[in-house]
Amino acid sequence: MLPLPRLKKILQRVEEIENLLSDGEVVRDSSRTQALTKELGSLTSIAQPFREYLKIQKEIEEADSLLKESQAGSELAHLYQEEKERLLKKEEVLKETIEARLLKEADRDAARNAIVEIRAGTGGEEAALFSSDLFRMYSRYAQTHGLAIEVMNSNPTGKGGFKEIIFGVSGPGAFQRFRYESGTHRVQRVPETEASGRIHTSAVTVAVLPEAEEVEIQINPTDLRIDTFRSSGPGGQHVNKTDSAVRITHVPTGLVVACQDEKSQHKNKTKAMRILRTRLLDRKRLEQEQVIQAARKKHIGTGDRSEKIRTYNFPDRRVTDHRIGLTLHNLDDILNGHIDEFVEALEKEARTRRMAGGADEN
């Protein structure tokens, strides 16, 4: 079953881009033209066979109508029947082509670099400590697969945790390997500070976004408010004595990004802009999905930050992924970066759902 609302939206977007590319003012902006041309090339591979598919459907209806009007068993009826069968075969081929290209389009982000944001949720210091555990887990997982980790911003606590840590992952298939980690990660364990030995439940949210390319998101410098401030570490101790930290506010959307991990103001600004572009791309896609009523919750790895996706239970040494009902009893190995079994199972489930018609992922 083809996802007709999505396909019609793609056709509409192709027509919009074609109109934009005929606008002299747009053409004069080389960066925007490049981004639009790239998007058009991607969408046309789906729009072109879908246009043919719609045309074939009309021809089938016409052949069927003529067949009903003709005398049963006549030579004319035989010709109309042959024509209808020919059109039905062509329709099936086009349908398979469209499905294959939708699957490919759904994985358009697979080869991108990723930006991962880990934030402590409910649980105070215990949640912050688990944020640190997750960062270590992801760092080791990335290292195992030859991917590079680059910390872009962090807000450490005095006890070794992170209220927030944002890092980039670069290398072949970086986003594909991390894409299913978005959501709420719940930890159940006895905190080191808990004298009575009671098990506490804390939560950490993880957002994994495909890193935006500069040409994809055009940011007007006049839309930015850039502030500098002095970097600080846990306990208010200054990392350095210069105003090297950067805070960028995108005024139209209200998005705020701050980076302070580098001693260079220029480097912090560059990292902040990378994060801002990526968040703006994510926001743009979410808005597009809402327009076409793409229900993210029905897909694996949707990026829904409110969804509880995994529980790490320390007393039982087990980890459960709630999306696929998979429980593993090797918590220590998992926290040491061995999450491939989860990733592979989630990829398999996502492929199955897309083949069943859920080609709206991402």
* Mean pLDDT score, 128-151: 96
Q: How confident is the model over 13-46, as pLDDT tens digits?
A: 999 999 999 988 888 888 788 888 888 888 898 9
Q: Give the three-state DSSP class for 211.
A: coil
In sequence order, which residues have a C-beta less than 8 Å from that of residue 282 and are 6 or more positions away? 209, 303
The letter for the amino acid at 28 is R
In sequence order, which residues have a C-beta less than 8 Å from that of residue 80 and are 6 or more positions away? 63, 66, 67, 70
- The C-alpha atoms of residue 160 and residue 125 are separated, in whole angstroms, by 9
In sequence order, which residues have a C-beta less than 8 Å from that of residue 51 and are 6 or more positions away? 11
- The C-alpha atoms of residue 169 and residue 274 are separated, in whole angstroms, by 12
- The C-alpha atoms of residue 358 and residue 222 are separated, in whole angstroms, by 40
Mean per-residue pLDDT of the chain: 84
Q: How confident is the model over 272-323, as pLDDT tens digits?
A: 998 998 998 888 877 755 544 343 344 344 434 457 899 999 999 999 999 9
* Mean pLDDT score, 177-198: 86
In sequence order, which residues have a C-beta less than 8 Å from that of residue 172 and are 6 or more positions away? 111, 146, 147
| Residue 77, CA distances (Å) to 73, 85, 177, 323 in order | 6, 12, 56, 53
DSSP-derived secondary structure letter, 172: T
**Would you call 237 exposed, middle or buried from its count of C-beta atoms within 10 A (0-12, 13-18, 19+)?**
exposed
The letter for the amino acid at 292 is I
Matching residue, tokens 């897909």: 299
- The predicted pLDDT at position 353 comes to 74
More confident residue, 160 or 352: 160
| Residue 223, CA distances (Å) to 116, 250, 270, 282, 331 in order | 25, 6, 16, 18, 46
| Partners of residue 195 on adjacent β-strands | none
Residue 45 CA to its chain's centroid (Å): 21
User: Computed over its alpha carbons, how large is the radius of gyration of the chain?
Assistant: 26
Residue 334 CA to its chain's centroid (Å): 23
Q: How confident is the model over 85-104, as pLDDT tens digits?
A: 999 999 999 998 988 788 77
CA angle 247, 268, 118 (to 5 degrees): 75
pTM over cut 0.75: no
